[in-house]
Amino acid sequence: MALLLGCIADDFTGATDLAALLARSGLPVSLRIGTPPEKRDRSETAAFEVIALKCRTSPVEIAVEQARQALEWLRQAGASRFFWKYCSTFDSTAEGNIGPVADMLMAETGTAQTIYCPAFPENGRSVFMGHLFVGEQLLSESPMKDHPLTPMRDSSLVRLLTPQVAGAVGLANRNTVLKGAAALKARLEQLSGDNIRHVIVDAVCDEDLGTIAAASFDMPLLTGGSAIAGQLPRLYVEQGLAERPRHRQALPKAAGGQIVLSGSCSAMTRRQVATYAAQVASLRLDPIALAESGATSACEWLRRQPDDAPKLIYATAEPEEVRRAQERLGREKAGQVVEEALSEVAREAFRHGTRRFVVAGGETSGAITQALGVTHLAIGPEIAPGVPWTFAAIEGEAVALALKSGNFGGETFFTDAFERLGAA
Ligand code: ADP
């Protein structure tokens, strides 16, 4: 199928979120973990190709270089329109990498002007008068102010982006967006006349996103969160660039045991784990014990469970316990032993016939997919906004994976996930 849009995402669960919103259209979406080393035959590409990088907090030169390689691959695969996906809370360090990567992509794709639209109204992220809100709170007053890697202490996207890009940053505000696509296009042209190439666009609801997409979809490069990209498939169909899908893409049936592996300690995951642990056989991992004796006993526990019984293995813990493990082992080591143990458990589960995996945690998902040798995922039905079932072939076997970042999904996410798969 002709490649309609080549997407580059700055982290792993951000890429699955983007892929999920594109897949709502019913058009085929494929997700590659890192830029594939080989150049691809065009017949093997989906309508939407997403390359997941892990460069949100990398040094600027590394992020730019990784994005350049991804762009090159997407071009080789036949893409001529591109999307640069970052977090709906604009997670970045003071140096980047949202701006520097956008600058490079604009230069490489001959884009004279692009938009920045992180808004994701369905998940409570909105932009008004250039300021980003999380629910009713300004970004800088939301829990993002204390993020360990990218603390967001300013809510003005113009101020955040300006030091990251060459040239001035402009704003197309909600009053313009409300007037419709023609008015927004006129505003973009006016800014272009003033030589403003980087434009923040306000959006507080999905209708705003529809207007913005209609005004900007022919730019060679667009940037933003997953929600603005989610508007594009419909526009492509309306413009005759793609045929309206008549039936859903056939997805592989992953037949085999099921397991939930959780390494996320986010508030929502803690509730999800507590709910699910009350229903199925579960095993809690303690990082201090893991550091001493590894994952052997967890693998033994797993082997004792009936193959077809649902099970949960988790390191998810309350902040107090996480702190204790971190004080004992160091922050990095505590995270590493958990990621390694869950990876080993995942491999053991696969060896014993598990074919349906739900993984909680962004970093944890990265570690487990890598351990299972997954490099390419097809995108299936959405379980919660931004969390789809994905499908991969591992050693020739069809495997279903749901990869959930910390705060996504409702309290019954784990049971919802398996029910959704059963009904798909
Ligand atoms: P989220 O998406 O919620 O941020 P991540 O998987 O990205 O989840 O990050 C959670 C990190 O915390 C991982 O590196 C994981 O290994 C680590 N971790 C999990 N459980 C514990 C624990 N009990 N103590 C210390 N660190 C933990």
Asked if 269 and 227 sit in the same domain, the reply is: no
Model pLDDT for residues 329-357, shown as the tens digit of each residue? 998 899 999 999 999 999 999 999 999 99
* Number of folded domains that form the chain: 2
Q: How far apart are CA 423 and CA 294, in angstroms?
A: 37
Asked if 210 and 165 sit in the same domain, the reply is: yes
Asked if 188 and 271 sit in the same domain, the reply is: no
Full residue range of the structural domain in which residue 402 is found = 257-423
Asked if 266 and 399 sit in the same domain, the reply is: yes
The ligand 1 atom nearest the CA atom of 364: 6
Pocket test for ligand 1, best of 87, 265, 270 (most atoms within 8 A of CB): 265
Cα(395) to centroid(ligand 1), Å: 28
| Bond before 173 cis per omega within 30 degrees | no
CATH of the domain at 177: 3.40.50.10840
In a domain, 143, yes or no: yes
Asked if residue 275 lies in contact with residue 417, where contact means CB atoms within 8 angstroms, the answer is no
Q: Indicate the helix (H) or strand (E) that contains 371.
A: helix 362-371
Q: How far apart are CA 391 and CA 299, in angstroms?
A: 24
Length of the chain: 424
Cα(13) to centroid(ligand 1), Å: 14
- What pLDDT score does 243 carry? 85
Q: How far apart are CA 172 and CA 396, in angstroms?
A: 50
- What pLDDT score does 423 carry? 65
The ligand 1 atom nearest the CA atom of 316: 20
Domain boundary among 211, 238, 265: 238
The 3-state DSSP class for residue 105 equals helix
Asked if residue 397 lies in contact with residue 354, where contact means CB atoms within 8 angstroms, the answer is no
**pLDDT band (50, 70, 90) for residue 383:** very high
- What pLDDT score does 239 carry? 92
Establish how many alpha carbons lie within 13 A of residue 156's alpha carbon, considering only the half-sphere containing its beta carbon: 7
Q: How far apart are CA 162 and CA 416, in angstroms?
A: 42
Which has the minimum average pLDDT: 136-150, 163-177, 201-215, 263-277? 136-150
- Nearest residue (by CA) to ligand 1, atom 14, is 335
Angle, helix 362-371 to helix 12-23, in steps of 10 degrees: 90
- Nearest residue (by CA) to ligand 1, atom 17, is 335
In a domain, 246, yes or no: no
Residues 21/127/101/180 CA torsion (nearest 10 deg): 70
pLDDT above 70 for 43:
no
401 alpha-carbon distance from chain centroid: 14
What does pLDDT average to over the chain? 94
Let me know if 10 is exposed, middle or buried by CB neighbors in 10 A (0-12, 13-18, 19+). Answer: buried
- Nearest residue (by CA) to ligand 1, atom 19, is 263
Q: How far apart are CA 275 and CA 280, in angstroms?
A: 10
Model pLDDT for residues 246-298, shown as the tens digit of each residue? 776 677 788 899 999 999 998 899 999 999 999 999 999 999 999 999 999 99
CATH of the domain at 368: 3.40.980.20
- What pLDDT score does 75 carry? 96
Asked if 114 and 44 sit in the same domain, the reply is: yes
Asked if residue 47 lies in contact with residue 242, where contact means CB atoms within 8 angstroms, the answer is yes
Q: How far apart are CA 251 and CA 324, in angstroms?
A: 44
Ligand 1 near 155 CB (within 6 A)? no
User: HEC profile for 130-191?
Assistant: CEEEECCEEHHHCHHHHCCCCCCCCCEHHHHHHHHCCCCEEEECHHHHHCCHHHHHHHHHHH
Record the tokens describing residue 305, joined without a space: 């469970």
Asked if 416 and 377 sit in the same domain, the reply is: yes
Asked if 93 and 41 sit in the same domain, the reply is: yes
- What pLDDT score does 246 carry? 74
User: DSSP secondary-structure letter at 397?
Assistant: E
The residue type found at 150 is T
- What pLDDT score does 44 carry? 80
Q: Indicate the helix (H) or strand (E) that contains 303.
A: helix 296-304
In a domain, 247, yes or no: no
In a domain, 250, yes or no: no
- What pLDDT score does 151 carry? 85
Q: Which residue has the higher pLDDT, 119 or 423?
A: 119
**pLDDT band (50, 70, 90) for residue 147:** confident
Q: How far apart are CA 400 and CA 28, in angstroms?
A: 16
Asked if 115 and 177 sit in the same domain, the reply is: yes
**pLDDT band (50, 70, 90) for residue 408:** confident
Asked if 70 and 189 sit in the same domain, the reply is: yes
Asked if 196 and 267 sit in the same domain, the reply is: no
Establish how many alpha carbons lie within 13 A of residue 216's alpha carbon, considering only the half-sphere containing its beta carbon: 33
Domain boundary among 206, 238, 270: 238
pLDDT above 90 for 40:
no
In a domain, 102, yes or no: yes
**pLDDT band (50, 70, 90) for residue 76:** very high
Report the percent of the chain where pLDDT is more than 90. 83
- What pLDDT score does 117 carry? 98
Helices and strands per DSSP (H, E), number in the chain: 16, 18
Q: How far apart are CA 384 and CA 103, in angstroms?
A: 33
Ligand 1 near 334 CB (within 6 A)? yes
**pLDDT band (50, 70, 90) for residue 164:** very high
What is the number of other CB atoms lying within 10 angstroms of the CB of residue 33? 21
In a domain, 308, yes or no: yes
Asked if 220 and 283 sit in the same domain, the reply is: no
